[in-house]
Amino acid sequence: MPKFIEETFGGVKRKFRLGIGELRELQDATGVGPATLVARFVALPPAAEHNKRPRPENYEHGADDPDFIADYNVYSMVRTFGGDWRVDDLRETIRLGLKGAGETDTNASVAMMKHFDRSDVTGIHEHLGLAAQIIIHAIAPDKDDPVGKAEAETTPTATPGTES
């Protein structure tokens, strides 16, 4: 069972966890599996495939050139927004992460209405990293968790005829 992760959401440190039930619910809500969601969150959009990082030396006034600054800002924005994600990919991942960590449906929904649905307060793209972390934590093993069964403790047992 995956452990919780703690991240800030809505200015408050909260716990998130996706167990198998939440992962299945997320698949039903989004129509794709967790690995596809992560790929959507971190992939470059198709329009940015050939968008190379601007280099100051290619501009007349170097790093101070207004065209360099504008091009770099556009490049950064395209890189930040990630790939072919949908609003509900993010929303459902975070909501179900809260639910999987023990929040009631009502409390998770209220948190989403206050801190996600209000895009006038926080840009929706700012939740990309959190959504990706929640899923990655659910599907990737924790480096401190051993894989497989724990070894059984051994206690000496008396062999018949050798009791003292």
* pLDDT for res 135: 94
- Closest by alpha carbon to 96, among 135, 128, 124, 125? 135
Torsion angle of the four alpha carbons 144, 4, 131, 94, in this order, in degrees rounded to the nearest 10: 170
Residue 61 CA to residue 154 CA, distance in Å, equals 73
pLDDT in tens, 47-83: 545 557 788 998 899 999 988 888 777 776 666 555 6
Q: What is the H or E stretch that residue 12 is in? A: strand 12-16
pLDDT in tens, 22-44: 999 999 999 999 998 988 887 75
- Token pair listed for 8: 């800030």
* pLDDT for res 44: 56
Has residue 99 got a pLDDT over 70? yes
Measure the N-to-C terminal CA separation of the chain; round to a whole number of Å: 44
* pLDDT for res 74: 73
* pLDDT for res 152: 46
CA distances (Å), origin 67, targets 48, 54, 73: 18, 10, 10
The pair phi, psi for residue 13, each rounded to 5°, is: -70, 125
Residue 110 CA to residue 112 CA, distance in Å, equals 5
